[in-house]
Homo-oligomer: A and B are copies of this chain.
Amino acid sequence: MGENYEVIGKSVPRIDGVAKATGRAKYTGDLKFPNMLVGKILHSPHAHARILNIDTSEAEKLPGVKAVITHRDVPSTKYGLSPARWDETIFCIDKVRFVGDKVAAVAAVDEETAYKALKLIKVDYEVLPAVFDPYEALKEGAPQIFEEYPGNINTEIHQHFGDVDKAFAEAYHVRRDFFSGQRTYHSPLEPHVSIAFWEGPKVTVYSSNQSVHYLQYHLARVFGMPMGNVRVLKTHVGGGFGGKLDPTGLDFAAVKLSQITGRPVKMLYDRKEMFYNNRGRHAQYMELTTGVTKEGKILGVHANFVMDGGAYTGLGVASAYYAGALLTVLYDFDNYKFDMIRAVTNLPGCGAQRGHGQPQPRFAFESHLDHIAEDLGIDPLEIRIINARKPKTVTINDFKVDSYALKEALEKAREISGWREKKGKLPPGRGIGVGNGGFVSGAGYPCYRTDLPQAVAIIKVHDDGSMATLYTGAVEIGQGSDTVLLQMAAEAMGYPLEKMRIVAGDTDLATHDFGAYASRQTLMSGWAVKKAGEEVKNKILQTAAEMMLVVPEQLDVKQGVVFLKAHPEESLTFEEVARTYFVKYGQLIGQGSYKPPKLGGTFKGAAVGTSPAYSAATQVAEVEIDEETGEIKVIEAWDVHDCGMVINPALLHGQVHGAFYMGMGESIWEEVLFDEKGDVANGNLAEYRMPTALDMPPVTSELVDSIDPNAPWGVKEVGEGATTPTMACLANAIYDAMGVRIESLPLTYEKVWRALKEKREKEKA
């Protein structure tokens, strides 16, 4: 795929690889500043309670305590990532809404003192009845958690495209199934950390986060400061996966505690507190009804979903819309109805987790589709080929899909997995399953300031041409964006990659960019980078033309050599030309910004789910089930991704492996559990069961040719899409192996064991 390119399409090592592998890389938690204090947050012990009084006097008296703050000391301005649902405050004012809600914070000379101080804060609560289940929360008479959400309904969506009832009436077969997905948590290795310090009117915040510009915006807005007085930057980030997009209590508290004490304040969440902060995957309850022709062509779909949002909205409005909106992309059908209620409960607030809103609906739909295929006697892979969307089409809910190679992905997956030889033909206990997925390549509209460009990039060439620096607000969180964007810059400039430097993820030094979420950076930040690089290239060609007495159109530049296209031996080095430019015109810089065209329809919520380009992915997995114990062993997996042009194949395949790993963990083992008080019961890495390397099967990651016309060099997303087919793929494989259908995630050994037991009992009966 990279044969026509010099720098992109190549598996160059990631630029932060050596630093990370040798331990030299400093994460936010590694940073120390002179005179730094440690801050900690006091969390609510009750799931729902009225705050009657907070007495911080004893805590303040403790030697070594430098500041104690509650809602009385900070703005009461509400914030959140869903523009119309700002419902969170720095600290709880009147009520606490879940075990772990933020009540107060301290700054002290060390962690021990800070923890002691937390214990000395006396909070009088009037405990209120709590509700932990969305269906309970939606019942009449349930405890009301927010005044602004009567009936505990946070978001309610009713969309109808075409005529579903008519489609069902005309269908050869209509089937309804019900599925559920559990709460999971991203569990990045690095906890949330925030360090704030003030200089004059300006605060600097080092935060382990996915979007320095989102955080800057919310800090500035809540504290009533000009954005220019808030600098947010990040060093290396140890994973985000959606959980580091929301501003955290740490960020706000550190800023205020630092302002009061005049000293840098470092705050971090311990593992349990990370589960309180959450923003992980919603629990979701999904009823699907689909009408098909005899040949398996889908005529209409009705998705009727309920989500457990937990206590605050965060990005939850988008999560709710995404769940239904993107169901229309993979398969081509003309009638679609989507009903959704996102309820609030007295549990930690949910948000975006890799694949945002998609993996569970895909689990549901892809399981459902297997049932339909079985009902009709069609091969499950075949029914997907029959329905697969074609490129250059528009979905019923107005998403413009220009490149789309799902059919090719399915065919290639069938090929490489040996589907035909295996499906229904594997030895007892073994099974094979297929699932499809995909994702947006950046959300068409950001969560705030929707009129802004999505991304801006500047490239500055050193005066002697021996170095060029890319300035981008893109945020490297481990996904490899720094490396990929530098490859794109070098390609666009015709410059060698090894001479590129990057300044990224810093609201002062870098450029505007909405950051790392919605799989947006390769396409959106990439557009800005490509344009900036091309501006540099044009200036180089113009200057070289003046030097060589030709016109720029006769020249090209590759890997630092400017040459006559007709006589490549007639050449100048990029350095010579850059230096001449510098002497004649001053600093050689290029600049690019990207704003997608208007996307989506005109109905309510039409913006959510729009993207300039959509990826598609097919996964096939083979499993082995232990009939005695229900143990699921994933034997092998195959992923074929339509992710457009690939900038760095090694990083791409790494994303696929990571996505499959994460999808597999959520499929089989991971679930956030709560005790009867509503407290997280397994908020640690021993009891929250993530897979290990030993659980990881061989994964073959393959690509299909696909170049998206709306993307720089035709790139599309890969980081999230590859998580979305996994749950169904494994559920379908289990069904193929044992004939049991697990309809609720996770597909635990116990559930398989119970289903097998039930099946045997039924067969006996």
> Which chain A residues have a beta carbon within 8 Å of chain B's beta carbons?
18-19, 199-201, 226-229, 451-453, 456, 458, 460, 462-464, 466-469, 498-499, 501, 503, 507-509, 511-512, 528, 582-583, 585-587, 589, 591-593
Taking the closest CB of chain B, its distance from the CB of A27, in whole angstroms, is: 13
Asked if A499 contacts B228 (CB within 8 A), the reply is yes
| Chain B residue with Cβ nearest A580 | B451
A586 touches B591 (CB 8 A): yes
Residues on the B chain within 8 Å of A508, using CB: 467, 469, 501
Taking a contact as CB atoms under 8 Å apart, the answer to whether A592 and B586 are in contact is: yes
Please list 30 pairs of residues, one from A and one from B, whose beta carbons are closer than 8 Å in the complex, sorted by A's number.
A226-B466, A226-B467, A227-B463, A227-B464, A227-B466, A227-B467, A228-B462, A228-B464, A228-B466, A228-B467, A228-B468, A228-B499, A229-B466, A452-B463, A452-B582, A453-B586, A456-B586, A456-B587, A458-B460, A458-B589, A462-B507, A467-B508, A501-B508, A509-B509, A511-B587, A512-B582, A512-B587, A586-B593, A587-B593, A589-B591
CB–CB B228/A583 < 8 A: no
Q: How far apart sit A456 and B199, CA to CA, in the bound complex (Å)?
A: 28
Cα(A416)–Cα(B42), bound, Å: 68
Nearest 5 interchain pairs by C-beta: A228-B467, A586-B593, A226-B466, A228-B466, A463-B512
Residues from chain B with a CB closer than 8 A to the CB of A587 are 456, 458, 511-512, 591, 593
In angstroms, Cα B591 to Cα A226, docked, is 24
Chain B residues near A592 (CB, 8 Å)? 586
Q: Nearest B residue to A575 by beta-carbon distance?
A: B226
Counted per complex, copies of this chain come to 2
* Residue numbers in B under 8 Å from A453 (CB-CB): 582-583, 586
**A591: B residues at CB distance < 8 A:** 586-587, 589
A587-B452 Cα distance, complex, nearest whole Å: 10
Task: Give the Cβ gap from A543 to chain B, nearest Cβ, in Å.
Answer: 14
Could you say which residues of chain B place their CB within 8 Å of the CB of A586?
A: 453, 456, 528, 591-593
Which residue from chain B places its CB closest to the CB of A34 in the assembled complex? B26
Distance A74 CA – B467 CA, assembled complex (angstroms):
24
User: Roughly how many angstroms separate A528 CA and B582 CA in the complex, as a whole number?
Assistant: 13
Q: Which residues of B contact A466 (CB under 8 A)?
A: 226-229
The answer for the CA separation of A509 and B470 in the assembled complex, in Å, is: 11
Contact partners of A456 in chain B: CB under 8 A: 463, 586-587
What is the distance, in angstroms, from A528's C-beta to the closest C-beta of chain B? 8
- Give complex CA distance A586, B512 in Å: 9
- The CA-CA distance from A460 to B199 in the complex, in Å, is 21
Q: Please, how many angstroms separate the alpha-carbon atoms of A621 and B27 in the complex?
A: 60
A509 pairs with B503, CB closer than 8 A: yes
CB within 8 A of A229: which of B200, B467, B503, B593?
B467
Name the CB-closest residue of B to A225.
B466
Q: Of A200, A466, A507, which is in contact with the most chain B CB atoms at under 10 Å from its CB?
A: A466
Q: CA of A693 to CA of B623 in the docked complex: distance in angstroms?
A: 85
Distance between Cα atoms of A589 and B457 in the complex (Å): 12
Report Cα–Cα, A501/B506, bound state, in Å: 14
Known interface pairs A451-B583, A528-B586; 18 further A-B residue pairs with C-beta atoms within 8 A, sorted by A's residue number = A19-B199, A227-B462, A228-B464, A228-B466, A228-B468, A228-B501, A453-B583, A453-B586, A456-B463, A463-B512, A469-B508, A501-B508, A503-B509, A512-B582, A586-B592, A587-B591, A587-B593, A589-B589
Q: Bound complex: CA of A227 vs CA of B503, how far in Å?
A: 18
Which residues on B sit within 8 Å (CB–CB) of A512?
463, 582, 587
Minimum C-beta distance from A481 to chain B (A): 19
Docked pose: A453 CA to B579 CA in angstroms: 11
Among A464, A498, A589: residue with most chain B CB under 10 A: A464
Complex Cα distance, B227 from A240, in Å, reads 36
With A18-B200, A509-B509 as given contacts, are A593 and B585 in contact (CB-CB < 8 Å)? yes
Residue in B closest to A35 when the chains form the complex, CB atoms: B24
Shortest CB distance A410–B (Å): 40
Nearest CB in chain B: distance from A155 CB, A: 28
CA distance A466 to B507 in the complex (A): 12
Asked if B499 contacts A452 (CB within 8 A), the reply is: no
Question: Which chain B residues border A467 with CB–CB below 8 Å?
Answer: 226-229, 508
Most buried by B among A200, A201, A228, A452: A228
Q: A450: nearest residue on chain B (CB-CB)?
A: B583
Query: Once the chains are docked, how many angstroms separate the CA of A460 from the CA of B510?
Result: 10
A584 CB, nearest partner CB in chain B, Å: 9
A18 to B198, CA, bound (A): 13
Q: Which residues from chain B contact A228 at a C-beta distance below 8 Å?
A: 462, 464, 466-468, 499, 501
In the bound assembly, the distance between CA atoms of A19 and B199 in angstroms comes to: 9
Kindly state the separation between the CA atoms of A586 and B591 in the bound complex, as whole angstroms: 8
In the assembled complex, the CB of A222 is this many whole angstroms from the nearest CB of chain B, namely: 15
**Whole-angstrom distance between the Cβ of A672 and the nearest chain B Cβ:** 37
Per the bound structure, the CA–CA distance linking A404 and B468 in Å amounts to 43
Q: Which residues of B contact A226 (CB under 8 A)?
A: 464, 466-467, 499
Least Cβ distance of A259 to chain B in Å?
16
Please indicate the chain B residues that have their CB under 8 angstroms from the CB of A451 in the complex.
583
Complexed CA–CA distance, A456 and B589 (Å): 12
Contacts of A582 in B (CB 8 A): 452-453, 512
| Complex interface: chain B residues within 8 A of A509 (CB) | 469, 503, 509
Contacts of A462 in B (CB 8 A): 227-228, 507
CA distance A549 to B226 in the complex (A): 28
CA distance A453 to B200 in the complex (A): 35
Using CB atoms, name the residue of chain B closest to A512. B463
Chain B residue nearest to A461 in the complex (CB)? B228
Distance (whole angstroms) from the CB of A464 to the closest CB of chain B: 5
| B-chain residues with CB within 8 Å of residue A499 when the two chains form the complex | 226, 228
Q: Which residues of B contact A585 (CB under 8 A)?
A: 593
A468 to B229, CA, bound (A): 11
Once bound together, how far apart are the Cα atoms of A583 and B498, in whole Å? 33
Q: When chains A and B are docked, how far (Å) is the Cα of A19 from the Cα of B200?
A: 9
* Complex CA distance for A453 and B584, rounded to whole angstroms: 8
Give the Cβ gap from A24 to chain B, nearest Cβ, in Å: 8
Contacts of A501 in B (CB 8 A): 228, 508
Residue of B with least CB distance to A587: B456
User: How distant is the Cα of A710 from the Cα of B468 in the complex, in angstroms?
Assistant: 33
- A458 surroundings in chain B (CB, below 8 A): 460, 587, 589
Q: How far is the CA of A464 from the CA of B469 in the complex (A)?
A: 24
Of chain B, the residue at the smallest CB distance from A511 is B587
Chain B residue with minimal CB distance to A583? B451
Question: Across the two chains, which residue of chain B brings its CB closest to A462?
Answer: B228
The complex places the Cα of A499 from the Cα of B230 at a distance, in Å, of: 12
